[in-house]
């Protein structure tokens, strides 16, 4: 069956450290993978998109990798700040729509 | 990027009634989508709202339960009909800039609770 898996346990890290979130998928062949941030009571906000032929994409303190062999994307936040605390969702394209993972909650301690 | 206004932000409804959720965008957009997000769960696509034609529903969602209108390129409504406790959820509108190689932009959702 098709699955997108993100760690359901919250990731708790110290301010200044690098946060690494994982998105694994099974039985999909996405051409694109997207990452979104969602704060409580708010809709998801787009962060980054990476294509299947791109190994890595960066935007300021954010970095995304995409390994189509491992069927995995990693999302990194360097020099993390308490304001980075949120739930992070990955999403991939399947046919004509986006399929979302259930998200990983990140907590950055001051 | 597009600014999306969704109303109401929350509501508490009686069983058997219906709720209509509005989604207004500040610019014309090609693609508009309706999602459901149950607590602690991922977003599930309900349907794609097509301007001038019937919405395209995903498996498990039917027009009689979730009628959708899209009268123009900036506005859509989702109605959740014959409400039951299982319909308690967050309903989100999103817009796309084109294909799936483009980001989607979301409203802040409507939190629906059923008494």
> Model confidence over B82-96: pLDDT tens digits?
999 999 999 999 998
Residue A106, helix vs strand vs coil = strand
Considering only CA atoms, give the Rg of chain B.
13
List helix spans (H) across chain A.
none
Place of tokens 């993100």: A6
Tell if the CB–CB gap between A102 and B41 is shorter than 8 Å: yes
Closest by Cβ to A98, choosing from B1, B104, B107: B104
How many CB pairs lie under 8 A apart between chains A and B? Answer: 54
Query: Hey, which residues does A82 pair with through a beta bridge?
Result: none
Beta strands in B56-106 (DSSP E): 56-57, 68-72, 75-80, 89-96, 104-106
Q: For residues B54 and B60, is the Cβ–Cβ distance under 8 A?
A: no
Identify the pLDDT of residue A102: 93
pLDDT, position B49? 94
User: How far away is chain B from the Cα of A10, in angstroms, using its nearest Cα?
Assistant: 12
Chain B residues whose beta carbon lies within 8 Å of the beta carbon of residue A100: 42-44
Stretches where chain B sits below pLDDT 50 are none
Chain A: residues touching B (Cβ < 8 Å): 4, 31-32, 34, 41-46, 49, 51, 89, 93, 96-98, 100-103
Dist CA B69 CA A3 (whole Å): 31
Helix (H) or strand (E) holding B7: strand B4-7
CA distance A55 to chain B (A): 16
Q: Measured between CB atoms, which of B92, B100, B107 is closest to A98?
A: B100
Q: Coil, helix or strand for B86?
A: helix
The yes-or-no verdict on residue A96 having pLDDT over 90 is: no
* pLDDT reported for residue B31: 87
Name the residue of chain A whose CA is nearest to B48's CA.
A97
For residues A22-46, give the mean pLDDT. 94
Using CA coordinates, name the residue in chain B closest to A90: B42
Chosen for mutation from B7, B91, B100 (greatest number of chain A CBs closer than 10 Å) is B100
pLDDT by residue (tens digit) across A1-12?
Answer: 889 999 888 999
Residue B54: phi and psi, rounded to 5, are: -65, 145
């Amino acid at each position: 069956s098709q699955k997108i898996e993100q760690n359901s346990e919250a990731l708790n890290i110290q301010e200044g450290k690098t946060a690494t979130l994982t998105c694994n998928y099974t039985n999909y062949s996405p051409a694109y993978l997207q990452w979104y941030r969602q704060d409580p009571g708010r809709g998801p906000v787009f962060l980054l998109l990476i294509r299947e032929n791109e190994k890595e994409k960066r935007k300021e303190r954010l970095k995304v990798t995409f390994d189509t062999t491992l069927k995995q994307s990693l999302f990194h936040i360097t020099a993390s700040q308490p304001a980075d605390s949120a739930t992070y969702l990955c999403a991939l394209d399947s046919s004509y729509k986006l399929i979302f993972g259930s998200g990983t909650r990140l907590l950055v301690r001051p | 990027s597009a600014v999306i206004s969704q109303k109401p932000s929350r509501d508490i409804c009686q069983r058997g009634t219906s709720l209509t959720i509005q989604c207004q965008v500040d610019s014309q957009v090609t693609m508009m989508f309706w999602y459901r997000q149950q607590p602690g769960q991922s977003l599930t696509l309900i349907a794609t709202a097509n301007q001038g034609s019937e919405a395209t529903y995903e498996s498990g969602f039917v027009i009689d339960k979730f009628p959708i209108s899209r009268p123009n390129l900036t506005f859509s409504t989702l109605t959740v009909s014959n409400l039951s406790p299982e319909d308690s959820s967050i309903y989100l509108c999103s817009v796309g800039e084109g294909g799936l190689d483009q980001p989607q932009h979301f409203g802040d959702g409507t939190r629906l609770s059923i008494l």
